[in-house]
């Protein structure tokens, strides 16, 4: 299956992925509605986007009491709007923090790989987000460990 | 391998077991479901109550879906006796059913406060679909609804009652609201928030009796200050449905004691959901959780084991989330562990609150509260769950989180929590989608 592969060292923090994602998902250019989130590291000198890994368990999907989260044709866990009642069980079941909830529509939403043409990867000018046929993985762990040393030193 | 499966109870645990049996079995078996009610999800009743969904939306399997799954359904019936030596159960209409293995998933029932008048007209429980219909028929715009009990169940329907245009008073005997879900600080913030949104909250308030007052209900409080209500909803707790099992010899403590495969003490008898006393992920001790996510995981593990697989269950994590007037309130794991190290942070103006609890450098529990419009609240809810569930060693991030309990994300990412979570699945394989039409239309 093709997944979103993140290359954090290439991210410039331009937030185009968030704009593209929010537009694709909700019709608004509004980073607050994006399901890919760019995080700053090292006092805003490094950045990395973070989104759903389309994990094997699909904690959101198995938790849904009405079967409103399914697997789409491209293998993404996808919320079926007509079935979602907005109970938020998926937001607490997902251990990655990649479920979202829109108070206006009272629906949960998440990365669905834009049906096989992810807008974030398309919008990224540095190829920090690519859509590839690879095993999903922890793309940010090593990068974040290295780029958070200063924050941790300050905490001591 | 078992050829005849018997599922007792059509709730979350039972239905997940049935679906998993069909997913996992190598040869087609027979499945009989005995359920007092048509299968539906209690979790979504609040959304039927506020009329945002049709009643048909609550059902988890219609007659057609059950037929598609090849399930022989005995609906509207109850099992009255289980003979574990003969592998046979008896229904309330006298029918006997033999099985090769069986799942007990009979769930819980609501309990009312033991006061005179608690069973009178105009006093409702909110647990079953039938009771939901009863409440729905009574609440009118401007009705004064009094909720007795301020626990999780009560809070799941709070928004719905307000959305119907009713005036709401909450009466709780404990000194704080949500006593089994959040701590004093969190409860205080939620209470202020509710009061700001027009809800009257009376804590430490003991109900003495309920009298009929010309079609309305007069709630006599032990310390005085009567309340007159149009509709009374009793949400004063639940108890597991196990009375019928007393003579069966199945070992029962707080619930049916089960091992790491969800097997009871009786041969070929499993238990799941509210009635099961299974392993808690954090304490590793047996406990009754009586929450939806535990019922779902239990049901799937039992289904796989009934289908001949060998699935060991890692234990369940207590997770609770409820939204009241656009404020998210959630807690995880051992949030009330008095012996744990902890740190907390409050932003009273938003309001937002975090409490994190540790044993060693592992997060073992958390409370989180914040506006549901804050993306980071929702994201942090998930990441805190991931930290508690994975039990990753936080190392130097513990000190960071102690100082900055709102800065969860860098700790989550840099401790490579994703790496430890990704291989984890409940059944040892990728989950399957709910299917083309497993849910009623």
Q: Which residues touch B437 (CB under 8 Å, ≥6 apart)? A: B65, B68
> Above 90 in pLDDT, residue A142?
yes
**CB of B391 within 8 Å of any CB in chain A?**
no
In 3D, which of B232, B174, B168, B163 has the Cα closest to residue B206? B174
Which residue from A minimizes the CA distance to B417? A141
pLDDT of residue B437: 42
Residue B254: cis peptide before it, omega within 30 degrees of 0 = no
Tokens standing for residue B265 = 């003490």
pLDDT of residue A118: 98
Confidence tier at B405 by pLDDT (50, 70, 90): very high
d(CA B273, CA B295): 4
pLDDT tens per residue across span B208-261 = 999 999 999 999 999 999 999 999 999 999 999 999 998 999 999 999 999 999
Q: What's the whole-number mean pLDDT along residues B89-106?
A: 98
| DSSP 8-state secondary structure symbol assigned to residue B263 | B
Q: What's the whole-number mean pLDDT along residues B125-136?
A: 97
> Above 80 in pLDDT, residue B161?
yes
Q: Do B57 and A85 touch (CB under 8 A)?
A: yes
pLDDT tens per residue across span B292-350 = 999 999 999 999 999 999 999 999 999 999 999 999 999 999 999 999 999 999 998 88
ipTM score: 0.97
Q: CA of A14: how far to CAs of A5, A33, A120, A121, in Å? A: 18, 16, 12, 13
Mean pLDDT over all residues of chain B? 95
Contacts of residue A155 in chain B, CB cutoff 8 Å?
396, 399-400, 403-404
Residue A30's Cβ-count burial label (10 Å; 0-12, 13-18, 19+) is middle
d(CA A119, CA B188): 43
Which region among A115-119, B77-81, B200-204, B371-375 has the lowest average model confidence (pLDDT)?
B371-375
In 3D, which of B299, B372, B221 has the Cα closest to residue A103? B372
Judge contact between B16 and B299, C-beta under 8 A.
Answer: yes
Mean pLDDT over all residues of chain A? 94
Q: Do A96 and B321 touch (CB under 8 A)?
A: no
User: Can you tell me whether residue A37 is helix, strand or coil?
Assistant: strand
Confidence tier at B100 by pLDDT (50, 70, 90): very high
- Total residues belonging to chain B: 441
Q: What's the whole-number mean pLDDT along residues B130-137?
A: 96
d(CA B392, CA B24): 31
User: Can you tell me whether residue A109 is helix, strand or coil?
Assistant: strand
d(CA A123, CA A25): 14
Confidence tier at B440 by pLDDT (50, 70, 90): very low
Confidence tier at A43 by pLDDT (50, 70, 90): confident
pLDDT tens per residue across span A58-106 = 999 999 999 999 999 999 999 999 999 999 999 999 999 999 999 889 9
Q: CA of B367: how far to CAs of B335, B344, B350, in Å? A: 6, 9, 16
pLDDT of residue A44: 86
Q: What's the whole-number mean pLDDT along residues B421-427?
A: 98
**Which of A96, A135, A146 should be substituted to probe chain B, the one whose Cβ sees the most B Cβ atoms within 10 Å?**
A96
Which residue from B minimizes the CA distance to A141? B416
pLDDT of residue A155: 59
- For residue B194, the surrounding DSSP H or E stretch is helix B184-196
pLDDT of residue B1: 66
pLDDT of residue A134: 97
Confidence tier at B375 by pLDDT (50, 70, 90): confident
pLDDT of residue B439: 40
pLDDT of residue B9: 98
Instruction: Give exposure, B206-239, as e/b (b: 16+ Cβ within 10 Å).
Output: ebbebeeeeeebbbbeeeeeebebbbbbbbbebe
pLDDT of residue B188: 97
d(CA A150, CA A152): 5
Minimum-distance CB partner of B43 among A65, A96, A148: A65
Which residue from B minimizes the CA distance to A50? B413
Judge contact between A97 and B382, C-beta under 8 A.
Answer: yes
Tokens standing for residue B34 = 């005995």
Report the gap between the CA of B386 and the closest CA in chain A (Å).
Answer: 4
Confidence tier at B376 by pLDDT (50, 70, 90): confident
pLDDT of residue A151: 72
- What dihedral angle (degrees, nearest 10) is formed by the CA atoms of B379, B382, B386, B387? 60
Report the gap between the CA of B288 and the closest CA in chain A (Å).
Answer: 19
Query: Which segments of chain A are extended strands (E)?
Result: 3-6, 37-41, 46-50, 69-71, 77-79, 100-102, 107-109, 129-132
Q: Tell me how many degrees the CA angle A66-A69-A70 measures, rounded to the nearest 5.
A: 115
- Tokens 């490579």 identify what position? B416
- Tokens 């860098």 identify what position? B410
> Above 60 in pLDDT, residue B436?
no
Which region among B37-41, B373-377, B382-386 has the lowest average model confidence (pLDDT)?
B373-377
pLDDT tens per residue across span B181-202 = 999 999 999 999 999 999 999 9
Report the gap between the CA of A125 and the closest CA in chain B (Å).
Answer: 24
d(CA B283, CA B363): 12
Q: CA of B426: how far to CAs of A62, A65, B248, B417, in Å? A: 10, 17, 30, 17
């Amino acid at each position: 299956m093709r997944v979103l592969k993140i290359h954090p060292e290439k991210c410039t923090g331009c937030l185009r992925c968030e704009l593209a994602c929010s537009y694709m998902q909700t019709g608004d250019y509004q980073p607050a509605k994006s399901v890919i989130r760019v995080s700053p590291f090292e006092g805003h000198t490094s950045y990395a986007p973070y989104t759903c890994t389309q994990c094997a368990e699909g904690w959101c999907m198995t938790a849904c009491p009405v079967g409103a989260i399914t697997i789409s044709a491209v293998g993404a866990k996808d919320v079926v709007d007509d079935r979602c009642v907005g109970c938020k069980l998926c937001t607490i079941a997902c251990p990655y923090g990649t479920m979202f909830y829109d108070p206006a529509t009272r629906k949960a939403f998440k990365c669905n790989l834009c049906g096989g043409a992810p807008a974030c990867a398309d919008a990224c000018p540095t190829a920090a987000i690519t859509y590839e046929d690879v095993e999903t993985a922890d793309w940010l762990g090593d990068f974040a460990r290295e780029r958070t040393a200063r924050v941790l030193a300050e905490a001591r | 391998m078992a050829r005849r499966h018997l599922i007792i109870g059509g709730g979350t645990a039972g239905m997940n077991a049935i679906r998993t049996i069909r997913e996992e079995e190598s040869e087609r078996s027979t499945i009989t479901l005995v359920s007092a009610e048509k299968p539906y999800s209690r979790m979504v009743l609040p959304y039927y109550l506020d009329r945002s969904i049709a009643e048909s939306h609550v059902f988890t399997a219609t007659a057609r879906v059950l037929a598609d799954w090849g399930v022989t359904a005995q609906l509207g019936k109850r099992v009255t006796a289980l003979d574990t030596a003969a592998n046979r159960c008896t229904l309330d209409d006298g029918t006997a059913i033999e099985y090769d293995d069986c799942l007990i998933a009979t769930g819980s029932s609501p309990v009312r406060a033991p006061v005179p008048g608690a069973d009178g007209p105009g006093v409702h429980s909110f647990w079953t679909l039938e009771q939901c219909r009863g409440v729905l028929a009574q609440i009118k715009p401007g009705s004064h609804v009094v909720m007795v009990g301020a626990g999780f169940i009560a809070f799941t329907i709070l928004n719905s009652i307000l959305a119907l245009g009713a005036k709401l008073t909450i009466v709780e005997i404990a000194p704080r609201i949500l006593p089994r879900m959040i701590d004093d600080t969190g409860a205080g913030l939620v209470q202020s928030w509710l009061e700001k949104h027009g809800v009257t909250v009376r804590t430490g308030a003991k109900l003495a009796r309920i009298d009929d007052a010309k079609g309305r209900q007069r709630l006599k409080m032990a310390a005085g200050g009567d309340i007159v209500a149009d509709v009374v909803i009793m949400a004063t707790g639940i108890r597991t449905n196990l009375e019928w099992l007393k003579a069966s010899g199945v070992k029962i403590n707080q619930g049916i004691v089960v091992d790491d495969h969800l097997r009871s003490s009786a041969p070929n008898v499993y238990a799941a959901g509210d009635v099961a006393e299974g392993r808690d992920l954090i304490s590793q001790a047996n406990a009754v959780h009586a929450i939806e996510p535990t019922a779902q995981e239990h049901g799937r593990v039992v289904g796989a084991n009934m289908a001949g697989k060998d699935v060991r269950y890692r234990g369940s994590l207590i997770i609770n989330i409820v939204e009241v007037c656009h404020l998210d309130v959630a807690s995880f794991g051992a949030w009330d562990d008095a012996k744990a190290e902890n740190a907390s942070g409050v932003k009273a103006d938003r309001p937002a609150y975090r409490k994190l609890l540790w044993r060693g450098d592992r997060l073992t529990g958390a409370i989180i509260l914040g506006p549901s419009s804050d993306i980071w609240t929702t994201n942090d809810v998930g990441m805190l769950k991931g930290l508690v569930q994975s039990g990753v060693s936080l190392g130097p991030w513990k000190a960071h989180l102690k100082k900055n309990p709102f800065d969860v994300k860098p700790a989550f990412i840099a401790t490579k929590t994703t790496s430890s979570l990704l291989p984890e699945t409940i059944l040892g394989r990728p989950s399957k989608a709910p299917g083309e039409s497993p849910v009623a239309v």
